[in-house]
Amino acid sequence: MNFRILVTVSANQTNSTMTKKILIALIVVLIGIQFIRPEKNLSDDNTYGLATVHKVPVKVDHLLKVACNDCHSNKTEYPWYAEVQPVAWWLADHVEDGKRHLNFSTFTKLPIAIQNHKFEEVVEMVEEREMPLDSYTYLGLHPGADLSDDERRMLIQWANAQMDLLKSTYPADSLVLKRRRPPSTTK
């Protein structure tokens, strides 16, 4: 009987020691990764920015700044928690992905057909409430990006007006994305 108690006490001490070691290792790793920082999106280069060619009313510009530009421009306003790893890595990846899909800072560098298509995507994403992402406004984060129905309508009307302007300015065939041909299977 005493042997069982001794074995149980010894096992509990071993588990406790192992748990402490794991916690210490976890703390060391969490502290260590704080020194590995991703590059921040702060260039603010707007040489080919949307407003250099397209008309952007003041109210629309404000909505783009508070609801879109953190992920879709060359200037991100980082929240305090962007200084904590691994959150900063997640944010950096998120911003990079957002800019890959649409970057208002390099918008006019795109061919006209792609600009037109990007306006179509803005309309679609805002209408279907896919943008701004829920994770961007979750728990009251970025309250200015939590768009009202009127603000959504304003962005949609603006994007549609930009497409109408492109249609009235450029030949119709220049606004259509060319389909890519699949690779040839014959040799």
Q: Are residues 63 and 10 in the same domain?
A: no
Note down the domain range covering 96.
50-175
Within-domain flag for 141: yes
SS3 readout for 45-67:
CCCCCHHHCCCCCHHHHHHHHHH
Q: Are residues 29 and 54 in the same domain?
A: no
Q: Are residues 101 and 68 in the same domain?
A: yes
* CA 86/CA 37 separation, integer angstroms: 9
Within-domain flag for 102: yes
Residue 73 is given by DSSP the state S
The predicted structure's pLDDT at residue 144: 86
* CA 157/CA 127 separation, integer angstroms: 11
Q: Are residues 70 and 149 in the same domain?
A: yes
Within-domain flag for 85: yes
Q: Are residues 143 and 89 in the same domain?
A: yes
Q: What is the DSSP string of 96-143?
A: HHHHHH--TTSGGGS-HHHHHHHHHHHHHHHHTT-SS-HHHHGGGSSG
Within-domain flag for 13: yes
Q: Are residues 158 and 131 in the same domain?
A: yes
Residue 26, both tokens:
């976890």
Q: Are residues 133 and 164 in the same domain?
A: yes
Q: Do 30 and 89 meet the contact criterion of CB atoms below 8 Å apart?
A: no
Residue 71 has pLDDT above 60, yes or no: yes
Within-domain flag for 185: no
* CA 156/CA 51 separation, integer angstroms: 17
Question: With left for phi above 0 and alpha for psi between -120 and 50, is residue 142 left, alpha or beta?
Answer: left
Q: Model confidence over 92-102: pLDDT tens digits? A: 999 999 999 99
Q: Are residues 29 and 78 in the same domain?
A: no
Within-domain flag for 152: yes
Within-domain flag for 99: yes
Supply the pTM of this predicted model: 0.80
Domains in the chain: how many in total? 2
Of 40-44, 71-75, 127-131, 136-140, the one with minimum mean pLDDT is 136-140
Q: Are residues 110 and 164 in the same domain?
A: yes
Q: What is the arithmetic mean of pLDDT over 155-172?
A: 96
Q: Are residues 27 and 109 in the same domain?
A: no
Give the Å distances, CA to CA, from 187 to 34, 176, 180, 182. Answer: 53, 31, 19, 14
**SS3 assignment, position 79:** coil
Percentage of the residues of the chain whose pLDDT score is greater than 70:
90
* CA 136/CA 71 separation, integer angstroms: 10
Grade residue 14 by pLDDT with cuts at 50, 70 and 90. Answer: confident
Q: Find the length of the chain.
A: 187
Within-domain flag for 181: no
Q: Are residues 61 and 125 in the same domain?
A: yes
